[in-house]
Amino acid sequence: MKALTPAEAITSRMSVRAFTKEAISKETVLKLLNISARAPSGTNTQPWKAYVVEGKALDDLCKKVCTAYDDIALNPELAKEYQSAYDYYPTKWFSPYIDRRRENGWCLYGLLGIAKGDKDKMHAQHRKNFEAFGAPVCIFFTVDKELGRGSMLDYGMFLQNMMIAARGEGLDTCPQAAWNDYAKIILPCIGAKENEMLVCGMALGYADKNALVNSFHTPRVSAEEFTTWVK
């Protein structure tokens, strides 16, 4: 495989939603995590903690979360039992962010032939999050609850390193905040301590190049649009 330049690794990164079952060695995962740990962090606090889940452990965890997700579809009141420890999205959406969110959703669903209002198909597609999109590895990242907001900024740089390093190894990822609502199931399964908060999960593996869903690439606003020059 031809080595990717840093720019190629960054621009070829995408959220893959269908993986092959091809295994990834422990050595490769550790290599990616060690590269990622070179991310900067305030006063070198290094707030990240990773739990690599694979094999039967991943299958069992996916089944538990999928069951909870399906139960909520039948009884929406159960959603109150499953809440993320932090607000990833705003409590009230507004432009231009709501417009981008809608565009993202309808473009993906349109590609997959899921019509507006087709709740069963939407449910089935979103459920694939909790199957790690078929990836052989899913990594769950936690942070100490007592750390400040700046540690989440540090964490973002660590996670970006992970995704770009994966591209450098010919691998793909999907960062998943979808898992966060089910932290009460996930954290005990992975052996996290009481002081830990789930930041996100990340599916890791080789993209299924034949899967239609992986032809979906999200657009980006140009730098000219979000940049102001001050002189």
Token readout for 195 is 């002081």
> How is the chain split among helix, strand and coil, in percent rounded to 5?
50, 15, 35
The residue behind tokens 């932090």 is 86
Per-residue DSSP letters for 65-96? HHHHHHHHHH-GGGGGG---SS-SS-SS--TT
Report pLDDT for 53.
98
Q: What is d(CA 134, CA 207) in angstroms, rounded to the nearest whole number?
A: 10
Q: pTM for the complete prediction?
A: 0.96
The residue ranges of DSSP E strands in the chain, in sequence order, are: 49-54, 137-144, 172-176, 196-205
Average pLDDT for 108-129: 96
Contact 165, 231 (CB under 8 A): no
Over 70: is that where the pLDDT of 208 sits?
Answer: yes
Residue 137 β-bridge partners: 54, 204
Contact 143, 49 (CB under 8 A): yes
Report pLDDT for 221.
96
Average pLDDT, rounded, for the chain = 97
Report pLDDT for 1.
67
What pLDDT digit, counting tens, does each position of 72-104 carry? 999 999 999 999 999 999 999 999 999 999 999
CATH node for 6-226: 3.40.109.10
